[in-house]
């Protein structure tokens, strides 16, 4: 089997692993961007070169997602968290209300922020089921006069992913796709706005993509302070103030990789499905030991989240995994357990290797503790 290096075995929930070819180009750019002759860290955001980077990146995003030229693509700062506040500050000013789905940790954060700006209608909450599943269409309580409908396509912490587009087509649909944008094709034209920070599938932390349909953009207020004003950001082509040049350039390289090396979102989706399938297969084959958190229909192709029989065995698993070269497998601090994040940059071979490790770990566990009553030292 090919020996994978530490970066290739990085299953971190975010910032996530980036493709090796992108890292190599960034290594070169750190000293000198060939076409400029300067380090990427010292190139002016007002340079012609950077304007071209932004222009190409906007085009690449539209091309990958199949969006018309009229769609506005913004590169913003403040992470997805800034969007949690900025959105309602823009849209709930006139006493209107918005529909939100509460499907896990991050949608809870979005709701908490939005409540500070206006009224919300909880269209559905998964709290009673400990956020182990997503709603059916019939369960959603949607309002036809909502200012917008908000949900998160992939709950990064719980490993829940919508495999359809929920919501009404006559209410602006807004989605946080921070942990699955550009990981698969989708019906992106059905969204008024999509946002996603880069640090999972798209690049390093520091830049957040905000994609706005032109007709929706026209409905947004123009008189807000610049930093929370989508028009100001769009008019400046993402150079409203000094943007994170390095992060934006990195995202450009990832989009080039997706377009030219991978061949588009259909192909990356096939990679991601294969990685997810081999890990979920282990969960299904050893279901008494590896306990998947998400309902099968809502399993995420990005974050495979599971528990082992007890916290002691989970610690032993993490320790053994670390010794075997894997990293980033610990679950989110809010729920613990194990999380294998398999973003775009993670190769299929890495997921295969983790699946093998999980099988071996299970077998060694069964041999060393036939009653599954405790943890043998031979195993830890």
The catalytic residues are 106, 176, 200
Task: Kindly list the distances between the CA atom of residue 110 and the CA atoms of 6, 82, 104, 356, in Å, as whole numbers in the listed order.
Answer: 33, 10, 10, 37
From the CB of residue 275, how many other CB atoms can be counted at a distance below 10 Å?
A: 26
**Closest approach of ligand PMP to the CB of residue 117, in Å:** 17
The residue among 71 and 179 lying less far from ligand PMP, judged by its C-beta, is 179
The residue among 13 and 135 lying less far from ligand PMP, judged by its C-beta, is 13
**Closest approach of ligand PMP to the CB of residue 79, in Å:** 3
**Interface characters, 63-102, with ligand PMP (x: CB under 6 A):** ----------------xxx---------------------
Task: Kindly list the distances between the CA atom of residue 97 and the CA atoms of 94, 121, 141, 164, in Å, as whole numbers in the listed order.
Answer: 9, 7, 14, 24
Using CB under 6 A as the binding rule, the residues of this chain from 106 to 145 that contact ligand PMP are 106
Give the C-alpha separation, 201 to 179, whole Å.
7
Question: Does 15 engage in binding with ligand PMP (CB under 6 A)?
Answer: no
Residue 208 in tokens: 């957040």
The residue among 197 and 278 lying less far from ligand PMP, judged by its C-beta, is 197
Structural contact between residues 14 and 202, judged by C-beta atoms closer than 8 angstroms: no
**Can you name the residues that pair with 341 across neighbouring β-strands?**
303
Using CB under 6 A as the binding rule, the residues of this chain from 184 to 203 that contact ligand PMP are 197
The residue among 263 and 336 lying less far from ligand PMP, judged by its C-beta, is 336
Question: Does 62 engage in binding with ligand PMP (CB under 6 A)?
Answer: no
**Closest approach of ligand PMP to the CB of residue 220, in Å:** 21
From the CB of residue 363, how many other CB atoms can be counted at a distance below 10 Å?
A: 11
Give the C-alpha separation, 122 to 111, whole Å.
9
Question: Does 161 engage in binding with ligand PMP (CB under 6 A)?
Answer: no
Structural contact between residues 322 and 355, judged by C-beta atoms closer than 8 angstroms: no
Question: Does 156 engage in binding with ligand PMP (CB under 6 A)?
Answer: yes
Question: Does 152 engage in binding with ligand PMP (CB under 6 A)?
Answer: yes
Task: List CB contacts of 272: < 8 A, sequence separation 6 or more.
Answer: 183, 184, 301, 302, 342, 344
Query: Tokens 């906007």 correspond to what residue?
Result: 58
The residue among 29 and 298 lying less far from ligand PMP, judged by its C-beta, is 298
Using CB under 6 A as the binding rule, the residues of this chain from 333 to 352 that contact ligand PMP are none
Residue 179 in tokens: 């942990």
| Site size toward ligand PMP, by CB under 6 A | 11
The residue among 81 and 327 lying less far from ligand PMP, judged by its C-beta, is 81
Question: Does 14 engage in binding with ligand PMP (CB under 6 A)?
Answer: yes
**Closest approach of ligand PMP to the CB of residue 87, in Å:** 12
From the CB of residue 143, how many other CB atoms can be counted at a distance below 10 Å?
A: 14
**Closest approach of ligand PMP to the CB of residue 275, in Å:** 18
**Closest approach of ligand PMP to the CB of residue 214, in Å:** 25
Out of 12, 179, 233, 250, the only residue in the binding site for ligand PMP (CB under 6 A) is 179
In sequence order, what DSSP letters do the residues of 12-54 get, joined into one string? -SSS----HHHHHHHHHHHH-BTTTTB-GGG--TTSHHHHHHH
Question: Does 158 engage in binding with ligand PMP (CB under 6 A)?
Answer: no
Nearest alpha-carbon partner for 291 in 270, 317, 272: 317
- In this chain, which stretch among 19-27, 176-184, 346-354, 368-376 interacts with ligand PMP, using CB under 6 A? 176-184
Residue 177 in tokens: 């796709």
Out of 178, 201, 255, 272, the only residue in the binding site for ligand PMP (CB under 6 A) is 178
**Closest approach of ligand PMP to the CB of residue 180, in Å:** 8
∠ CA 362-9-196, rounded to 5°? 110
Structural contact between residues 292 and 100, judged by C-beta atoms closer than 8 angstroms: no
- What does the binding site for ligand PMP look like in residue numbers (CB under 6 A)? 14, 79-81, 106, 152, 156, 176, 178-179, 197
């Amino acid at each position: 089997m090919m020996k994978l290096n530490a970066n290739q075995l990085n299953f971190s929930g975010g910032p996530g692993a980036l493709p090796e070819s992108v890292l190599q180009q960034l290594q070169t750019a750190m000293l000198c961007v060939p076409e400029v002759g300067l380090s990427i860290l010292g190139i002016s955001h007002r340079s012609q070169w950077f304007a071209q980077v932004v222009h190409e990146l906007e085009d690449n995003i539209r091309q990958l997602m199949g969006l018309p030229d009229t769609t506005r693509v913004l590169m913003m700062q403040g992470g997805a968290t800034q969007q949690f506040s900025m959105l309602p500050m823009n849209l709930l000013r006139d006493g209107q209300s918005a529909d939100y789905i509460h499907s896990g940790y991050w949608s809870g954060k979005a709701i908490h922020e939005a409540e500070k700006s206006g009224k919300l209608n909880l269209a559905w909450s998964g709290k009673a089921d400990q956020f182990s599943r997503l709603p059916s269409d019939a369960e959603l309580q949607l309002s036809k006069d909502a200012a917008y409908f908000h949900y998160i396509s992939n709950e990064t912490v719980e490993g829940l992913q919508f495999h359809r587009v929920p919501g009404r087509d006559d209410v602006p649909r807004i989605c946080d796709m921070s942990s699955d944008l550009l990981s698969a094709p989708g019906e992106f034209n059905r969204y008024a706005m999509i946002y996603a920070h880069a640090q999972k599938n798209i690049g390093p932390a520091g830049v957040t993509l905000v994609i706005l349909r032109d007709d929706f953009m026209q409905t947004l207020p123009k008189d807000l302070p610049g930093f929370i004003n989508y028009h100001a950001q769009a008019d400046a082509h993402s150079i409203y103030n000094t943007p994170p040049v390095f992060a934006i350039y990195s995202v450009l390289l990832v989009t080039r990789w997706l377009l030219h090396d991978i061949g588009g979102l259909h192909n990356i989706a096939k990679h991601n499905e294969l990685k997810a399938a081999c890990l979920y297969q282990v969960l299904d084959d050893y279901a008494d030991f590896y306990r998947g958190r998400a309902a099968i229909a809502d399993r995420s192709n990005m974050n495979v989240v599971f528990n082992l029989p007890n916290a002691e065995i989970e610690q032993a698993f993490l320790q053994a995994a670390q010794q075997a070269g894997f990293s980033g497998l610990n679950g989110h601090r809010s729920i613990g357990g194990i999380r294998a994040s398999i973003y775009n940059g993670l190769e299929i071979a890495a997921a295969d290797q983790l699946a093998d490790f999980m099988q071996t770990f299970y077998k060694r566990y069964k041999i060393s503790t036939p009653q599954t009553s405790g943890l043998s030292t031979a195993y830890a």
